[in-house]
Amino acid sequence: MNRRLPLDDVRIVAVEQYGAGPFGSSHLAALGADVIKIEDPRVGGDVSRYVPPHQHGEDSLFFESFNRNKRSLSLDLLTAAGQSVLRDLVARSDAVYSNLRGDIPARLKLRYADLCDVNPKIVCCSLSGFGMTGPRAAEPAYDYILQGMAGWMSLTGEPDGPPEKSGLSLVDYSGGYVAALALMCGIHAARRDGVGMDCDTSLFDVAMGMLTYVGTWNLSAGLVPQRMAHSSHPSIVPFGAFETQDGWIVVVCAKQKFFERLCEVLERPDLAADERFSSAAGRYASRLDLLAILDGILRSQPSKYWLERLRKAGVPCGPVNTVEEAFADPQTAARDLIVETEHPYFGSVRHVASPVRVGDDRLPERRAPQRNEHAADILENNLGYDAGRVEALRAAGAFG
């Protein structure tokens, strides 16, 4: 039996651009939400349409990856006519979602106080760099900057090397998830109580919040976290990347039984009996000695040799793959993690599926919209504008 998609009764007006905001709303769209993407005609729409490589005209594969399953409307929110269209959309929507600088929602009238008169249940979710309050509220922020500010880069990389960022924009993506969660919680409360609200989320808050136990160690015990060799865990040993004869693997012994099994695979049961290594506390205190021994053994054979034996013994492990190798992993196919859309220029475009799974049904994937592609559908079918109204709004600059 085909069931309704979880969010097919949710409409979101998304004043969003680039990465963090569109990433968050893309998962809501994949779950069936009607995400109406508002694009600024003054600048040619979402700036990510022009990100190289693989860019053509007003589209790019970067943009495609963040904006599938959405509808696009060009709307100039700096005009009174554009604002009137926005308010009509708000009257028929559940949420306004934006990822702009912290001071911009007030300027563009995207806050609850600006819109509650047309829809008392509207949820206004802002994802900004630093939030709507504080001394940095009016400053722009990007993932790389926040990885530095929140201390992440001081924890990443080899101890004798420079600070490093993650290879992916994890602050942006985590921020998108947090904003999507806040927005859906807001919609739930608004439907229950009949009153909407603002959701003030920020990338800075997210980056700081993700310090988790490292933050608690520092705040409560004064511990200054250090970068660990081979991306090792700061307190559990062994738990990190190890070089083999032909590459790298990750081995994780988060429990005593895993370490004992590792010693059996390495044919070194004496290590498990050694009083220096027989307990988690001992391995932590003698980590340099233990890791030197493990490094020497694991370099003696190829990755495949070790991974087969470790997996058979039940030791948590995995290869350090290239991106191409990750997509070739049988688990990727088994989890149906690759979806495909058709594009008028790029042809068949393969994407990573949303990992947010709710029930068994999935929305058939639609390519990202061309700029203003759904204007007629939104203005005529959703807002009920006739041709005269559309033309009057166009003349007043609503659509650029």
Tokens of 207: 């980056």
Contacts 24+ apart (CB under 8 A), 152-157: 152/207, 152/210, 154/225, 154/227, 155/214, 155/225, 155/226, 155/227, 156/227, 157/227
In this structure, are strands 347-352 and 338-343 parallel, antiparallel, or unpaired?
antiparallel
Rounded to 5°, angle at Cα 24 from 328 and 113 = 180
Distance CA 285, CA 94 (A): 54
Q: Rg of the chain over CA atoms, in angstroms?
A: 25
Tokens of 84: 């009137």
Give rounded-to-5 percent helix, strand, coil for the chain.
Answer: 45, 15, 40
Tell me whether residue 59 is one of the annotated catalytic residues: no
Which residue, among 290, 292, 294, has the nearest Cα to 306 in the 3D structure? 294
Distance CA 177, CA 28 (A): 10
Of the candidates 40, 172, 198, 205, the residue annotated as catalytic is 172
Which are the contacts of 220, defined by CB distance < 8 A and separation ≥ 6? none
User: So which residues are the catalytic ones?
Assistant: 172
